[in-house]
Amino acid sequence: MSKNHEAVWKNCLQVIKDNVPSVSFRTWFEPIVPVKLDQNVLTIQVPSPFFYEYLEEQYIDLLKKTLRKEIGQEAKLEYNVVMENNTMNNRPYTVRFPARNKTELHNRPLSLPVDKDAPQIRNPFIIPGLKKLNIDPQLNPEYSFSNFIEGECNRLARSAGYAVSNKPGKTAFNPLFFYGDSGLGKTHLAQAIGIEVKEKSPELTVLYVTANRFQTQFIESIRSNTRNDFLHFYQVIDVLILDDVHEFAGKEKTQDIFFHIFNHLHQSGKQLILTSDKAPVELQGLEQRLLSRFKWGLSADLQTPDYETRMAILKKKIYNDGIVMGDDILEYIASHVTNNVRELEGALISLLAQSTLNKKEITLDLARQMIDKLIKSSRKELSIEYIQKVVSEYFNVPIELILSKTRKREIVQARQVAMYFSKNLTKSSLTTIGSKIGGKDHATVLHACKTVNNLIDTDKRFRLQIEEIGKKLKM
Ligand code: ADP
Ligand code: MG
């Protein structure tokens, strides 16, 4: 009795479905289309070369078993690989497989035709699949564990990271989620895991990618109609490091695809490492289903380093750079630059630059001058309240009047100037600025900024006033 390809494949799927996780089934088996059955050779069509590789790598035994049960010991499988969008070759129906020689085959996998009868990668049961893709992990060798100073501020995060690097995907810390303010070492630590994994298990595919880059790639893949390739590319990674996931806020399509990638990797025991400026519970603009998954593993925060750790970081830095510097100078820096590690490094670098440029020796005095300047200019973001206070003093208008509804001309102007500086010197939204200046709406704030800008352009006296206030605010 001769069987038809659809029936055979349907029976195979029944068995496969019981043997793989449902997400994997949906991802890797549902998209397959049975094409034909020629004696003992079943031909199936898969959406991309990655897909073919992945099936070969992960499921070949299962496929073999089920197929043999269906069509006998001599069963063979052939693939048609289809590209939705043929970017490398504009004549999709003319490239024929099998290739005439090996080189051609290896150079061609991305430009396979859509023609059902033509392209086939033959006989995977015996001939090994295409070479595994070599993916550059995008890691910076400087960001190693050995360059990462441990302190109270990062102890949990660091040791979890180290545990993960020994057994990626095999610990309870999956995903491993690092959070904390900017400049505290999230990127460094996340990359350190990647470097360590690569050292211990070079065969694993590690990838570091920023959330922004991921999004750009995704959008590009939609534009060029290669979304499937994008998806499958990310699904073959063993250790995926996604930096600054808070950048996904409000970007629903990107979150959606990442959700699928996350599920797939997590289900297949692959490791995910995420970083963010906030803990999962505090992240805004991210879908609930994504946030709940972020909480599955371990979230560890990075805190501001204490004095000891700051000293140790400085010492490590100058040691690595081969610089000698007195402890008194390091102590001065460590006790004055306290916000985060990036600023700490910045201070050290400026000091070195100063001394080189001006051919001055690095002395405590030079360090003092420079650091004091640095601290002033990087002072905390101005608050709206502080701006209102300075403006009220400058125009000699009581702050209550600025916050009131008075339409008197000088008061309106002072109010507008306060809004103008709040817009330009803080990160607050127009709505926030308006609500803090007597419950105005965002359109009023916008109008105020326009008025002030117009006056600056047309009224010299006014412009000078604005400059003076600006100076006072930045002092
Ligand atoms: P984040 O990603 O949290 O904004 P980064 O990882 O980029 O911070 O760190 C900022 C800089 O500080 C980097 O140059 C990094 O090497 C350094 N750094 C942060 N934490 C440490 C640490 N514990 N030991 C050594 N260097 C650190
Ligand atoms: Mg970072």
Nearest CA to ligand 1 atom 23: 149
Going by CA atoms, what residue is nearest to atom 16 of ligand 1? 188
Are 11 and 112 in a shared domain?
yes
186 in contact with ligand 1, CB cutoff 6 A: yes
Query: Which range in 296-310, 318-332, 371-385 is most confidently predicted, on average pLDDT?
Result: 296-310
Task: Write down which residue in 341, 357, 378 finishes a domain.
Answer: 378
Look at the chain and report how many structural domains it folds into: 4
Ligand 1: nearest atom to the Cα of 158: 23
Residue 126 falls inside a structural domain = no
Largest CA distance in the chain: 100
393 is a domain residue: yes
User: Is 349 inside any structural domain?
Assistant: yes
Nearest-CA residue for atom 19 of ligand 1: 185
Residue 407 CB partners (closer than 8 Å, separation 6+): none
Residue 129 placed within a domain? no
The answer to whether the CB of 306 falls within 8 A of the CB of 152 is yes
User: Read out DSSP for 105-172?
Assistant: HHH-GGG----SSS--B--TTTS--SPPP-------TTS-STTS---GGGHHHHHHHHHHHHSTTSSS
Across the beta sheet with 41-46, the strand order is 33-38, 41-46, 76-81
Q: Among residues 344, 378, 412, which one ends one of the domains?
A: 378
pLDDT digits (tens, 9 = 90+) for 403-414: 999 999 999 999
Q: Quick one: 210 and 73 in the same domain?
A: no
Distance 465 CA to ligand 2 centre (A): 39
What is the residue-averaged pLDDT of the chain?
84
Q: What pTM was computed for the model?
A: 0.60
C-alpha 196/C-alpha 42 separation (Å) is 43
Query: How far is 247 from 400, CA to CA, in rounded Å?
Result: 39
Task: Summarize pLDDT for 25-64 with one digit per residue, the tens.
Answer: 888 898 899 998 988 888 888 877 667 777 877 888 889 8
Domain limits for position 342: 307-378
Q: Is 356 helix (H, G, I), strand (E, B) or coil?
A: helix
Q: What is the pLDDT of residue 190?
A: 98
Residues 435 and 361 in one domain: no
Span from the CA of 66 to the centroid of ligand 1 (angstroms): 51
What distance in angstroms lies between residue 185's CA and the mean position of ligand 1's atoms?
A: 3
pLDDT in tens, 89-106: 322 222 222 222 333 333
Pocket of ligand 1 contains residue 311 by CB under 6 Å? no
| Nearest Cα residue to 256 out of 289, 283, 279, 234 | 289
Nearest CA to ligand 1 atom 14: 342
Q: Would you say residue 321 lies in a domain?
A: yes
In a domain, 325, yes or no: yes
At residue 49, the pLDDT reads 67
Q: Is 327 left (phi over 0), alpha (psi -120 to 50) or beta?
A: alpha
- Say yes or no: 410 and 359 in one domain: no
Residues 199 and 341 in one domain: no
Q: Are 288 and 363 in the same domain?
A: no
CA distance 398 to 300: 47
- Judge if 171 and 231 occupy the same domain: yes
* pLDDT above 80 (res 260): yes
On whether both 237 and 329 belong to a single domain, the answer is no
165 close to ligand 1 (CB < 6 Angstrom): no
- Residues 161, 176 contacting (CB under 8 angstroms): yes
Say if 139 falls within a structural domain: no
Cα(77) to centroid(ligand 1), Å: 51
Closest ligand 1 atom, residue 142 Cα: 16
Phi, psi of 96 (to 5 degrees): -115, 140
Domain identity same for 290 and 312:
no
CATH of the domain at 188: 3.40.50.300
Neighbours of 26 (CB within 10 A): 15
CB of 158 closer than 6 A to ligand 1?
Answer: no
pLDDT at 197: 98
Q: Are residues 373 and 247 in the same domain?
A: no
Q: Choose one of 342, 348, 349 to mutate for the ligand 1 pocket test, by most ligand atoms within 8 angstroms of C-beta.
A: 342
Question: 82 pLDDT band (50/70/90 cuts)?
Answer: low
Ligand 1 centre to CA of 147 (Å) is: 10
Taking 70 as the threshold, does the pLDDT of residue 471 lie above it? Answer: yes
Structural domain contains residue 316: yes
443-452: long-range pairs with CB below 8 Å, 24+: 444/419, 445/419, 448/415, 448/416, 448/419, 448/420, 449/416, 449/419, 449/420, 449/423, 451/416, 452/416, 452/417, 452/419, 452/420
Chosen domain end from 301, 324, 344: 301
106 closest CA partner among 114, 97, 115: 97
Q: Are residues 204 and 251 in the same domain?
A: yes
Indicate the pairing of strand 41-46 with strand 76-81: parallel
Task: Give the ranges where 45-84 is alpha helix by DSSP (H).
Answer: 49-58, 60-71
CATH number at 389 reads: 1.10.1750.10
**Using an 8 Å Cβ cutoff, are 239 and 270 in contact?**
yes
Two tokens, residue 239: 């250790």
- Residue 356 sits in a domain whose CATH number is 1.10.8.60
The CATH number of residue 22's host domain is 3.30.300.180
Are 197 and 289 contained in the same domain? yes
pLDDT at residue number 339: 85
Q: How confident is the model at residue 221, as a pLDDT?
A: 92
